[in-house]
Structure 1
Amino acid sequence: MILNFSTSARISSLKSVISGSMFVRMCPVLLLGAAALFVPACGTSYSYAYGDGSGGYPYDWKVLLKGDSLDAWKVFPSDTKGDAAATWTAKNNLLFCSGTPAGYIATVSEFTNFELELEWCFDPSKGAGNSGVLLRVQQKDEIWPKSMEAQLQSRHAGDIWNIGDFPAKVDPARTQGRHTIRMGECAEAPLGVWNRYRIVMNGGRLEMYVNGELQNVATDVAVLPGRIALQSEGSYIMFRNIRVRELGNATKGAAEAGK
């Protein structure tokens, strides 16, 4: 019999399971019975160059999630009934988000020109999910802060949302209001499989890649230092292999340079 757990109970159970399991390549989805048996139903659909996030990255990359620590991050809203861990939890190089309340977890450090890589996975037992990666987030914390959003909503990863009239140019043929849809076919893996985002924000140019496929470009983006944030937006979601490296002042992105 499948038991229904509250989000906080489910995360608590997952923590105990992960601590003694081989949870590296799979995404947890169900807990069965009173013994909380782990059912691995998610896998990785592509090869990730630097493993499970525990180390071994090139020297110029900064790993933003290590072990059980959230020292590189700050949660907003900061007081979730006195317990920010009710929304965001780190365990064994994995970041869990319950999806409630609405908010985000942002880097303490600011970045201007950077390359960001991360992986995400939604719980397939819950259906399609929603979240986003906020870029060059400005200092006023609110829902939602002025930034450029790389969409994570299921089947819409690669879309751009402009939050707070962030100065930028996008393709008008693919844009309605603040929303710019991706330029090609959906590159996401099936629900429940880990996906990879590669985001290059260099000078005024933004490039977004999903599982290696270029999905969107913005130009003349305001060159402002800002934080990187992950949204809590109503869906249980997990992240891993979150890393960033700062770039020089060159304005050409990878696609523009023909790389």
Structure 2
Amino acid sequence: MLNCRRPNRRKSSSGRNQHSLATRLVAIAVYTAFFLVITPVFLAIVYRFVPVPVTPLMVVRLFEGHGLHKTWKPLNQISPHLRQAVVAAEDNLFCVHNGFDWKALNKAIDQWQEGNASKGGSTISQQTAKNVYLLPTRSILRKAVEMPLTMLIENLWPKQRILEVYLNIAEWAPGVYGAEAAARHHFKTSAKNLTRQQAAQLAAILPRPLHWSAAKPGPYVRQRSNQIIRRISGLGPTYLGCTQPLKK
């Protein structure tokens, strides 16, 4: 007598479902990776020519109850005193490095390993990449993500554009972003008309803009601003050349 068994449809169906689930998971992973790679590149190309409308930090500050005050200005409408002061204060190798100050970065890593949290080591290029793309968190993971983003803008933007974007999105007071809004907020003037001393005081408060005032500087900010002015005098054209707007 023949023993005719029916195929085990349950097992077959289960195998197909597992295969289908694996395929979907792979597709999701591929699309996610594609999105994470393509989006920063697309934004970098767009922001090479178009003002950055908003940054993650601005959104966070809005949720914290701060306003949003900013007016985009091209580099040639920002005082050369401020352009030079920011480079002298934040990254005096900006014009000559490829996005990273490895000596300062290694020092910051050593301090972190010793348990000393430090804000040092970030170049203007790194700060620009962080401000454009990332939330204002402090972690090794964020630093790791920040590095390829820094290389991206360093390769797609000239130094003048990096500086222009930085000067227009940097935080200078609660809800105050960019050189123009900062000049209006602290000194009731325009970014173009900032004096050398005013520019140095604005550059001096960049590390702690929510706590320090450029208009009413305390002893540290006064000391720091005078130090910035002296540093500008010692840098020269090699280290300040890229603060000049590109000729059209």
Query: Which range, TM-score by smaller chain?
Result: under 0.3
- Larger radius of gyration between Structure 1 and Structure 2: 2
Higher strand share: 1
What is the TM-score when the length of structure 1 is the normalising length? 0.27
What is the TM-score when the length of structure 2 is the normalising length? 0.28
Higher helix share: 2
